[in-house]
Structure 1
Amino acid sequence: MPSDIVKTPIGQPFVELSVTDSTNIYAMTHIQHNMATHGSVFFAHQQVAGKGQHGKTWVTEGGQNIILSTIIDPNPLILGQQFRLSVAVALACYDFFSRYAGEETRIKWPNDIYWRDRKAGGILIENQIRGQQWQWAVAGMGININQTAFDPTLINPVSLKQITGKTFDPVQLAQELCTDLTQRMHQLFNHPFSPLLEEYNGYLFKRNEIVQLKKLNTRFTCNILGVNENGELLVKDGPADRFVFGEVNWVNNEY
């Protein structure tokens, strides 16, 4: 049997920043200056230009939440397996959040963290690719911890404090999340992917439910069946039976 791939745990080092534009930008700068090491985490107490999916901004109140990015060496994954890393990071965030918020925690495709019909966190993974070589990944995570007042333009946000009534130490919880990430990375790099994908689908938001999606300007209803190993959303009774990320959007009537 080949020996396990053992990498530096996520969170070594754990660098705290009082304020930064974006932890993902900060981490990417390390990569660009050849200062990258697997497992480095950059935690911001305040982020003034946070990045979300599709070029959106991630708006958060200073000192109240988890805002961090970690540098990941994706080897032995290859370029066509980027969704696998997304699944592992999403599962780590699920592990962390559900430990406090309970079984109503879900993963919304592709990798948002939801509690009931409300968004608790988001993940943005950016990659350093040269030719056909996937050199580095930066996984950025924003999770609502103590914030109770949100930008009114946000759709149904929720925080751990709103769910539990308790106030938490964001740095301590971020370090817990690093432990969850370390465990999921070890699973990703040393074991078959199918059990990870099965877990991901088991926690999938709105699975086996009728939802409304939008493609371009056309809305349609369909039944969410799951997500395949390529990261495609599998549906029933829609205009197609699968969609790639970015091809459709959720209609935010309720979520």
Structure 2
Amino acid sequence: MSSNSNISAIGQRWIELSTVDSTNNYALGLIKTNLAEHGTAVFAQEQTAGKGQRGKAWITEPNSNLILSVIVQTEFLPLHQQFVFSAAMALAVQSFFNNYTANETVIKWPNDIYWNDRKAGGILIENIISGSGSWQWAVVGIGLNINQIHFPDWLPNPVSLQQITGKRLNCLELAKELCKYLNHYYQLLQAGAFTEILQQYNNYLYKKGAMVKLKKNNAVFTTTIQGVDQSGNLLTGNTFTNSFSFGEVEWIISTK
């Protein structure tokens, strides 16, 4: 995966921290103080206040997992392509992780990384929009369970790469390898390959074509996952198609 871009490749500028509250916060701080460069990767051995989707905390054992945030320029992308950007980043992580899991890794909408109904990681993207409305930067925060084998009881379905493969792996080396995948999919975005990215995303969509249980407000219902559209809405249904935006429904996943 070579770089054809005239700007720095993702991961070319590397910052390694022993501990930090949040790699996303650190990266956002670089942007706010005008110290950001495209492709800067912030890797931490320990994160004390990691952030997950919708204000949730991301809990991770120190020195055991892949904790990475990358800063990318997004000025070439219109705001309405935010989901395609998210899909591209999810595909990069899925493709990377899939190398170690015998093609069993999928993407649970919108951008969680799943292996056999179990969550291996997630992505949190925070965007910087200028006063004029242009999309200047994105910070892509990635957390992947690598060597952790004991998890809090309240996490419903976690899994780590060590549990999957039986091998202890080097998180720093894996993070640098992941950057090559992120760079590859970033280049696809630069090339305008939005349709291809969405098609790939749907190819690896968790439970596509399957009957699932979803919850909206207090109502649980059964429906079939059809796919995700270019705006990032989840499409479900049998005879009639329903469309749900992120946060509108919850998955009811059997933890067996």
Range class of TM-score, shorter chain: over 0.9
User: Does 2:94 match 1:90?
Assistant: no
Distance 2:222 2:130 in 1: 40
Match of 2:211? 210
SS class of match (1:179): helix
Match of 1:11? 11
The correspondence of residues 78-227 of structure 1 with structure 2, limited to 5 A, is: 78-131=78-131, 132-227=133-228
- CA deviation after TM superposition for structure 1 residue 240, in Å: 6.1
The correspondence of residues 67-78 of structure 1 with structure 2, limited to 5 A, is: 67-78=67-78
User: Does 2:254 match 1:253?
Assistant: yes
SS class of match (2:207): coil
Could you list the per-position Cα deviations for residues 30-78 of structure 1 after superposition, in whole angstroms to 9, with x for gaps in the alignment? 1111111110010010000000001000000001110010011012101
Q: CA RMSD in A?
A: 1.5
User: Does 2:233 match 1:236?
Assistant: no
- Runs of 4+, deviation exceeding 6 Å: none
Whether the 8 Å contact between 1:221 and 1:237 is mirrored in structure 2 is: no
Distance 2:7 2:156 in 1: 38
Whether the 8 Å contact between 2:75 and 2:134 is mirrored in structure 1 is: no
5+ residue gaps in structure 2?
none
Cα distance change of structure 1 residues 238 and 129 upon mapping to structure 2, 3 Å threshold: farther
Distance 2:80 2:193 in 1: 16
Distance 1:240 1:200 in 2: 19
5+ residue gaps in structure 1?
none
User: What is the letter of the counterpart of residue 85 of structure 2?
Assistant: L
User: What is the letter of the counterpart of residue 53 of structure 1?
Assistant: Q
Match of 1:39? 39
User: What is the letter of the counterpart of residue 147 of structure 2?
Assistant: N
Distance 2:219 2:7 in 1: 46
User: What is the letter of the counterpart of residue 200 of structure 1?
Assistant: Y
SS class of match (2:254): coil
Distance 1:194 1:220 in 2: 31
Whether the 8 Å contact between 2:81 and 2:231 is mirrored in structure 1 is: yes
Distance 2:115 2:253 in 1: 15
Identity of aligned residues (%): 51
Distance 1:186 1:102 in 2: 26
Distance 2:97 2:209 in 1: 23
Q: How many residues align?
A: 252
Distance 2:151 2:255 in 1: 17
SS class of match (1:246): coil
Distance 2:28 2:226 in 1: 35
Whether the 8 Å contact between 2:43 and 2:69 is mirrored in structure 1 is: yes
User: What is the letter of the counterpart of residue 26 of structure 1?
Assistant: Y
User: Does 2:36 match 1:26?
Assistant: no
Question: What is the TM-score with the length of structure 2 in the denominator?
Answer: 0.95
Match of 1:52? 52
Distance 1:116 1:196 in 2: 23
Distance 1:79 1:168 in 2: 37
User: What is the letter of the counterpart of residue 168 of structure 2?
Assistant: T
Whether the 8 Å contact between 1:5 and 1:190 is mirrored in structure 2 is: no
